A and B are shown apart, each in its own frame.
Chain A
Amino acid sequence: MLSFIYRRLLYMVPTVFLVSIVTFAIIQLPPGDYLDTLAAELNDSGGLDAGTMQSLRDQYGLGQPMYVQYFKWMKGILLHGNFGISFEKNLPVNDLIWDRLGWTFGISLMTLAFIWMTALPIGIYSAVRKYSVGDYIATFFGFIGLAIPNFLLALVMMYVAFKYFGQSVGGLVSPEYLDQPWDLEKIGNLMSRIWMPIVVVGTSGAAALIRIMRANLLDELYRPYVVTARAKGMSEFKLLMKYPVRVALNPFISTIGWILPTLVSGEIIVAVVMNLPTTGPLLLRALLVQDMYLAGSLIFIVSILTVLGTLLSDVLLAWIDPRIRYQ
């Protein structure tokens, strides 16, 4: 087992290397660079002369060939933990992103907990009581949850909150708490609002997992080993938890790998709609103005963290199902 984990960690190195290259390639894809965007924006108010443009370009190293820029960027990250600077804000990327990354992953992890707490029991229930009223209700809500794109759900919830409860929408805390230090009252205010993005981001994931859990459990419930265990006189609940649920969990766990990137993605798009202080709005803006080190660092770090999530799911899968080979 240990050597399996060790080997998987070793495999991560080329993956991370590839991620960094692709990230860099993606942010280089659009024609032109940040200075072109800047020049286009400044053109309305006089504009920049060619000399200033050239000196700025030299200062940021934007005139150099792509691989030189890439190696400079990677050297900074590996040796000094320096992700470069944000052109637009004129600040080190490090100062801008960690707060927002923390919120993004905090919300994503809370959403994961929400999904597991709802999907597992509901999924088991609807498989065991197949075609009962409860199963139909769970299935129906599951389907509705899957069918509504999360930005649409966010818009609808904001509309309802605004129209019928008169609540100011957007942001994680009410406007009056924005500049206050963290105290109990502010945390209470945060809690009264943070459930909204969590539910919005988690609904489709929970619905999908309910479906998967129900389908997998149904595949197992009528196997001979279940009949045997029942014939031995085992209590129904114990039997359920000990055999079919454990087998059905196998594909359930292999989904952690993809659910984390999905949650992060969902969080990003919902954050744009709900105006949350997370990576979403920052990344969208950075991509649109070609603030390349900021956009690149965000995609890079978020990707690394999800690679770790996939690794975790593989290890869990190998641990739970011995049929999966360690080799």
Chain B
Amino acid sequence: MTTLSSNTPIQDDTEVPNVLSPWALMWRKFKRHKIAFLSLWLVGLIYLMALIGPFLAPGDAADTNRRAIFQPPQGIHFFAEDAEGNSRFQLHAKQMKMQIDRSTMRRTYVADETDIIPLGFFVRGSEYEVLGTFKADVHLFGPKDPDDRVYFFGADRLGRDMMSRIIIGTKVSMSIGLVGVAVSLVVGVALGGISGFYGGWVDNLIQRLIEFLRSIPTIPLWMGLAAAIPLGWPPLRTYFVVTLIVSMIGWTSLAREVRGKFLAMRDEDFIIAARLDGLTDWEVIRKHMVPNFSSHIIASLTLAVPLMILAETSLSFLGIGLQPPIISWGTLLKEAQNIRSIVEAPWLLIGPGAMIVAAVLTLNFLGDGLRDAADPNAH
């Protein structure tokens, strides 16, 4: 003994097996799911777009223009003729001229081949605030002359640039999903867990509350609540109230699922064994129950983000959620409410609609990949 303790520590030559943590294993599995991995990047890009929206937008989202009412989308052209008639590389768009047919009062736009708008990267344009701290006026892509206007995705009934509006609207639409899910997660897991773990009158009370909230169909309930939001409220307050209204229902489904899992697991042998080992309730929940249903929660949560985005969109579309001047994909779609305006200006529907579908689709793919990766039973 004494000889051993006086010696320097024995050199350990045996190789330690490389043990991966459960999260590392998950990550490895997740990366194998190609579509989900791609979606992770796309979702990241969309949130980046929400963060640096004004920089990406070619113009000012609120800027109206009487000469561009319902102007169709403009294309980007690569080669232009200069003064000597030589063709050379110059990114540009063609100026669109409005013509009004007096008898039918219909607007048509014709591209003017001679009048071009030079386009470029990192151009100066309308001023915006970066993260609320300092002002900037550099835009990633747009007309070189700050007085020119281009409409890559067309213009709405006030001649506002749809592309800028869609990009700016990303912030409100995407953040409502995140904030709403955060609220739902905390409330749902806490109440669902308590309900399923303790049972008895607590369970009863929470279940009746959930049953009560769910028994009122969401749209009429939201319609009733949202109709009560005074039109004169500041946009920020309306935004938070609409988020709360939307997440008021979201937590209930999560709570029900968590409770169901708890109930089914409560009497399983490994839980009884853990309890007999003298673990406290909290330890049993944290160490043995949560890892067992976290995959289910992840799947539900990733399903919940797009659901909240859709809920906001539906409310704003009906005209009782967010109100202009707040720009969200829902308030943009409100402009495309009837078949007449869609037939006259399909880009009002296509642009915001495509963004919603893309955002919801990638979030769903991401959730599906995470679910498969987190599932210990998956093969």
Contact = CB atoms under 8 A, between A and B. Distances in A.
A268 B217 contact: yes
A275 B230 CA distance: 27
B303 interface: yes
A142 to B, nearest CB: 9
Interface string A127-149: 00000000000010001101111
Contacts of B349: 152, 155-156, 159
B315 to A, nearest CB: 9
A251 B258 CA distance: 11
A19 B361 contact: no
Given A31-B230, A155-B349, A261 B361 contact: no
B260 A261 contact: no
B306 A146 contact: yes
Nearest to B252: A258
Nearest to A26: B224
A261 B216 contact: yes
Contact of A163 (B221, B256, B343): B343
Interface residues of B, number: 57
A15 B230 contact: no
Contacts of B223: 283-284, 287
B257 A251 contact: yes
A104 to B, nearest CB: 10
A149 B314 contact: yes
A304 B215 CA distance: 7
Given A19-B215, A29-B225, A152-B333, A283 B342 contact: no
B377 interface: yes
B318 interface: yes
A155 B230 CA distance: 29
A200 B277 CA distance: 54
Interface string B213-251: 011111111011101101000000000000000000000
B342 A287 contact: no
B376 to A, nearest CB: 10
Interface residues of A, number: 67
B224 A218 contact: no
B357 A148 contact: yes
Given A152-B333, A222-B377, A272-B318, A19 B216 contact: yes
Interface in B309-357: 310, 313-314, 317-318, 320, 333, 336-337, 339, 342-343, 346, 349, 353, 356-357
Nearest to B313: A149
Given A19-B212, A284-B223, A298-B220, A29 B228 contact: yes
Given A155-B336, A251-B257, A284-B318, A302 B217 contact: yes
The 4 closest A-B pairs by CB, nearest first: A29-B228, A265-B219, A26-B224, A147-B360
Interface of A: 11, 14-15, 18-19, 22-23, 26-27, 29-31, 139, 143-144, 146-149, 151-152, 155-156, 158-159, 162-163, 169-170, 208, 211, 215, 218-219, 222-223, 250-251, 254, 257-258, 261-262, 264-266, 268-269, 272-273, 283-284, 287-288, 295, 298-299, 302-304, 306-307, 310, 321, 323-325
20 contacts: A29-B228, A139-B368, A148-B360, A149-B313, A159-B349, A162-B339, A169-B339, A215-B296, A222-B377, A223-B377, A250-B260, A251-B260, A261-B218, A269-B219, A269-B314, A284-B223, A302-B217, A303-B220, A323-B267, A325-B263
Interface of B: 199, 208, 211-212, 214-221, 223-225, 227-228, 230, 253, 256-257, 260, 263-264, 267, 296, 299, 303, 306, 310, 313-314, 317-318, 320, 333, 336-337, 339, 342-343, 346, 349, 353, 356-358, 360-361, 364-365, 368, 371, 375, 377-379
